[in-house]
Amino acid sequence: MINYKECLMICLFTFLGIVSKAQEVMTPQTLWELGRVGAMGISKDGKEVIYSVRHYDLETNKSSTKMYAVPINASKKRGVKIDISIGESTKGNARAIKNSDQYLEDDKLSPNGKMKLYDKRIKLMNVNGSDLYPELELSNVQVYDDLMYRHWDTWADGSYNHVFVSDVDGQNELDIMENQMYHCPTVPFGGAEDYIWSPDGKQVLYVTKQKIGSDYAVSTNTDIYAFDLESKKTKNLTKGMMGYDVSPAFSKDGLLAWLSMPRDGYESDKNDIIVMEGDRKTNLTKHWDGTVFGFQWAKDGKNVYFTAPVDGTRQLFKVEYPGNARRLPLVKQITEGQWDVNGIVGEVGNDMIVTRTDMNHAKEIYKVDLKTGKMTQLTFVNSEIYNRTVLSRVEKRMIKTTDDKDMLTWVIYPPDFDPAKKYPTLLYCQGGPQGALSQFYSFRWNFQVMAAQGYIIVAPNRRGMPGHGIQWNEQISKDYGGQNMKDYLSAIDALAEEPYVDNDRLGAIGASYGGYSVFFLAGNHNKRFKTFISHDGIFNWRSMYGTTEELFFVNWDLGGAYWDTADDITQKAYNEFNPINYVNNWDTPILIYQGGKDYRVPIGQGLEAFQAAQLKGLKSRLVYLPEENHWVLSVQNGIVWQKEFFRWLKETL
C-alpha cells in the first residue's frame, strides 16, 4: 500500500532536486563538458543532416568525435534513447552512425566517378641541417634565406601542401601544382574547400598564393587557378584581382562563384561574391554596404545564399544573380534575431540547414524556412546541460560615442542579477582588430561563464567591427589608438552611470588586438580600471614588426615599417599608438597570458610587458603556455586558463 506522506515527501524532494538542478550556473569545467557540433552535410537522399560531436576529456587531456544523423523533418518528440547497434545514447531524433561516407556525397570524386582529388605535403626545399649535411643526421639546425620561415604556430620545414589527382584506386597519381613552392590548401587555415572539380570533370580549380618568401609575407593576393587535365596547362582565373580570392563553387548551370577582396595587403577588406559567366565577372554585393563571411549557391542557380555580420549579429542573406539583366543584384536578409547564423550546411526543399549560436548557447543545427526566416532547432546536443543551467541576460544597448555616433554594445548580466546590488564590471576588448563582436559562443572568452561568476560584461562594437557599414569597419586602420579607444571608454563610462555597476571594481580584458587594447588602456585610462587582463596582446610595435610573420597586417594597419620616418601616419602609429610608450603611466595590476607557439603575436610581446610591470613594482602575473599558439586548444590548459582568469579577478577586483 502506498503511504501518502512518503509519496508527498518523495515528490517534494524530487521537485527540490529539479529546482536545484535548474539553479546551476555555467562553470569552466561545465564549459568543457559541452559537445562541440560540426555540421558535415546533407545526406544523399536529402532527408537527414549528418553531423559530428566532439567531446573533451579532462583526465586524458584528449578529445573524441562521434557522428550522428538527424531527420530534417522530424517529429516534435525529443528525449534520450539508446542506439543498440552503436552502444551509446543519442538525443532527440538523432541516431548515431559509424561511417559518414555512406550518407554523404564525396565531392572529391570526379563527376564520372573514375578519379579522385586529395592533398598531401611534399618536400621541396632543404631547410634542416640534416638535409643540407646528411652526414650530420642528429643536427636540428634550421637554415633560412628568406621570410615566412614560420607561420602561425609552425616553423617551415621545406614541405608544401599540394593537390593531387589519381585514379580511384590511387594509381596514375599526378601533382597538378608541378612541384612549385606554393601551398594548396593555403596555410594556415585552408582546407579541402580550396580545391574542387569543374562540373564536366575536365578541370581542377584550386586556390593558392603564388608567392614565396618576403613577397608572400607582405601580400594577401591569393588566386584561383584552373588546371586542365588533358593539356596539363594552368590558367589564372582571377588574374588582376589583387586581394584574397577564395572559396570557388559552381552553380548547377556551371557558373563559378567565389569570395573576393579587392586590395592586396588588406586582410579585412570588404568581402564580395563574384560570379564568372564566360569572361564576364559580376560582383553581386559590390553596392551592398556589408562584407560576406560565407556563401552557397541556391539549387536553382538563380540566387546565392550567404552569411554576414549585421548589427552585432550574423544572419542569413540572399542575393540574386541577374545574369545579363542590367540591374543591381537585390540583397535580402532572411533571418533576424539575437543570434549568429555562423554556417550554411545545405538547401533542402524550402529550407536551408544552418548552424547557430548565441552568447548563452554553443553551436547547434537549425533549419530555416527560406520564405519566412523561421528557424527550427534540429540538434539538442547540449540541452541537458542548458536545461539545468541558469542563463545570463544579454542586453543590446546603443551608446553615444565622442563623435556622436550610435554604438551597439552588448551587456551581459549575471544569471541572478539584482539591480539593487552593485557588481564588478568587465570591459571586453575584441580582437581582430576587425573581428565581428556578434552573438558568438567562445570556449575561452565565454561571456556566459564570466557572468555566472558574478561579473557584468560590457562588449562594445567599437570602430573597426563589421556589421555596421564599411566606413565603420575600416575606420580603425592606421588609427589604432584613436577613435576606437574612445569608443571603449564611452561604453564603460555609460555603464558606470548605472547604480548596479560598482565603479570601484572595473576591469578591462581582451586578447590579440584586444590584448593590445588592454596594454594601451593601461597607460591611458585615467584610473578608471582596477585590473587588466591581456592575452597575446601587442605591447611594442617595433619588436612586433620585427618578429610577426604576416607582415601585410602591420603594413596595412600601421602604414608601413617603423624605419619609414618620412611617413607621419606611420610614425604616429609607432609612437602615439604604441603601448610601450605609456608604461610610465602604468599604475594598475595586470595579468598577462602568452602562448609559446604564437608567431602572429610572438612571445616577446608578453614577456616585455610582464618585465615592465614587474620592474615598476606592479602586482602582475605571467601565465605562459609553451605549447599553445594564438589560441588555447588543450583541455587542461584551457581549464588552467579559466582558473587563473578568475583567481586574478578575485585577487584584484
Residue numbers annotated as active site: 512, 598, 630
Q: Which residues pair with 228 in a beta bridge?
A: 203
Type of residue found at 251: S
Provide the CB-side half-sphere exposure for 112 (13 A, CA): 7
Distance CA 62, CA 20 (A): 31
Q: Which residues pair with 394 in a beta bridge?
A: 412
Distance CA 534, CA 443 (A): 17
Q: Which residues pair with 316 in a beta bridge?
A: 307
Q: Any idea what DSSP says for residue 128? A: B
Could you tell me the sign of the dihedral formed by the alpha carbons of 246, 371, 340, 354, in that order? negative
Nearest CA-CA partner of 340 in 372, 376, 364? 364
**Terminal Cα distance for the chain, rounded:** 59
Query: Quick one: which H or E segment has residue 607?
Result: helix 603-615
Integer-rounded Cα Rg, in Å, for the chain is 26
457 neighbors 450 (Cβ within 8 angstroms): yes
Q: Which three cell numbers stand for residue 458?
A: 560590457
Distance CA 324, CA 327 (A): 9
Q: Which three cell numbers stand for residue 183?
A: 601551398
Query: Quick one: which H or E segment has residue 509?
Result: strand 501-511
Distances (CA, A) of 416 to 18, 258, 419, 424, 425: 17, 47, 10, 14, 15
For residue 343, give the 3-state DSSP assignment: strand
Please give the sequence-ordered ranges of beta strands (E in DSSP) within 349-482, or none if there are none: 351-358, 361-369, 375-377, 393-400, 406-413, 423-429, 456-460
For residue 55, give the 3-state DSSP assignment: strand
Residue written as cell 559567366? 277
Q: Which three cell numbers stand for residue 43?
A: 545526406
Distance CA 362, CA 342 (A): 11
User: Packing angle between helix 568-575 and helix 551-558, nearest 10 degrees?
Assistant: 110
Nearest CA-CA partner of 649 in 473, 502, 514? 502
What contacts 530, CB < 8 A, 6 or more positions away? 504, 505, 506, 507, 588, 589, 652, 653
Where does residue 17 rank: exposed (0-12), middle (13-18), buried (19+ CB within 10 A)?
exposed
Q: Which three cell numbers stand for residue 315?
A: 544572419
Distance CA 440, CA 456 (A): 17
Distances (CA, A) of 122 to 126, 144, 270, 354: 12, 18, 34, 36
Nearest CA-CA partner of 52 in 61, 40, 64? 40
